[in-house]
Amino acid sequence: PSPAGRGKAAPLDLVSDFPAIPAGWAYLDTAATAQKPQPVVDAIARGYDRTYATVHRGVYQRSADMTLAYEAARARVAAFIGAQAGECVFVRGATEAINLVAHSFAAPRLKPGDRILLSMLEHHSNIVPWQMVAERTGAAIDVVPLTDDHRIDLDAMQAMIRAEHKVVALAHVSNVLGSVLDAKRATRIAHSVGATILLDGCQAVPRVPVDVADIGCDFYVFSGHKLYGPTGIGILYGRAELLGAMPPYQGGGSMIDRVTFAKTSYAPAPTRFEAGTPHIVGALGLHAAIDYVDAIGLDRIHAHETALVARTREALSRLNSVRLLGPDDSAGIVSFVMEGVHPHDIGTILDESRVAIRAGHHCAQPLMEALGVEATARASFGVYNGPADVDALVAGLERVGKIFG
Ligand code: PMP
Residue 71 and residue 55: Cα distance in Å, rounded? 9
What is the model's pLDDT at position 6? Answer: 53
Q: Which long-range contacts (CB under 8 A, 24 or more apart) does 356-359 make?
A: 356/25, 356/26, 356/27, 356/28, 356/29, 357/28, 357/29, 357/393, 358/29, 358/31, 358/32
Under DSSP, the state recorded for 101 is: I
What SS3 state is found at 382?
coil
Rounded to a whole number of angstroms, the CA Rg of the chain reads: 22
* Sheet containing 358-360: order of strands: 322-324, 333-338, 376-380, 358-360
Under DSSP, the state recorded for 167 is: E
What is the model's pLDDT at position 41? Answer: 98
What is the model's pLDDT at position 4? Answer: 46
Q: Which atom of ligand 1 is nearest to the CA of 122?
A: 3
- Any bridge partners for residue 323, and if so which? 337
What is the model's pLDDT at position 3? Answer: 45
Mutation test of ligand 1: which of 101, 203, 207 has the most ligand atoms closer than 8 Å to its C-beta?
203
Atom 5 in ligand 1: residue holding the nearest Cα: 175
Mutation test of ligand 1: which of 100, 125, 362 has the most ligand atoms closer than 8 Å to its C-beta?
125
Q: Is-contact 357 378, C-beta < 8 A?
A: yes
Atom 8 in ligand 1: residue holding the nearest Cα: 32
Residues 6+ apart with CB under 8 A from 22: none
Measured in Å, residue 261 CA sits from the centre of ligand 1 at 38
**115-119 and 26-27: which strand pairing?**
unpaired
Measured in Å, residue 258 CA sits from the centre of ligand 1 at 35
Measured in Å, residue 174 CA sits from the centre of ligand 1 at 10
Q: Which atom of ligand 1 is nearest to the CA of 31?
A: 5
Residue 164 and residue 115: Cα distance in Å, rounded? 5
Q: Is-contact 150 327, C-beta < 8 A?
A: yes
Count the Cβ atoms, other than its own, within 10 Å of residue 138: 11
Which residues of the chain have a pLDDT value below 50? 1-5
Q: Which atom of ligand 1 is nearest to the CA of 92?
A: 16
Mutation test of ligand 1: which of 90, 174, 363 has the most ligand atoms closer than 8 Å to its C-beta?
363
Ligand 1, pocket residues at CB < 6 Å: 93-95, 123, 125-126, 171, 175, 200, 202-203, 223, 363
* Amino acid of residue 242: L
Q: Which atom of ligand 1 is nearest to the CA of 95?
A: 16
Measured in Å, residue 320 CA sits from the centre of ligand 1 at 32
DSSP 286-349: HHHHHHHHHHH-HHHHHHHHHHHHHHHHHHHHTSTTEEE-S-TT-SSEEEEEETTB-HHHHHHH
Cα 382 to the center of its chain, rounded Å: 13
Active site positions, annotated: 363
The pLDDT tens digits for 334-377 are 999 999 999 999 999 999 999 999 999 999 999 999 999 999 99
Q: Is-contact 392 355, C-beta < 8 A?
A: yes
Q: Is-contact 122 170, C-beta < 8 A?
A: yes
* Amino acid of residue 220: Y
Indicate if ipTM > 0.95: yes
pTM beyond 0.90, yes or no? yes
Q: Which atom of ligand 1 is nearest to the CA of 94?
A: 16
Q: Is-contact 187 156, C-beta < 8 A?
A: no
Measured in Å, residue 262 CA sits from the centre of ligand 1 at 40
Measured in Å, residue 163 CA sits from the centre of ligand 1 at 29
Nearest to 198 by CA among 243, 155, 164: 243
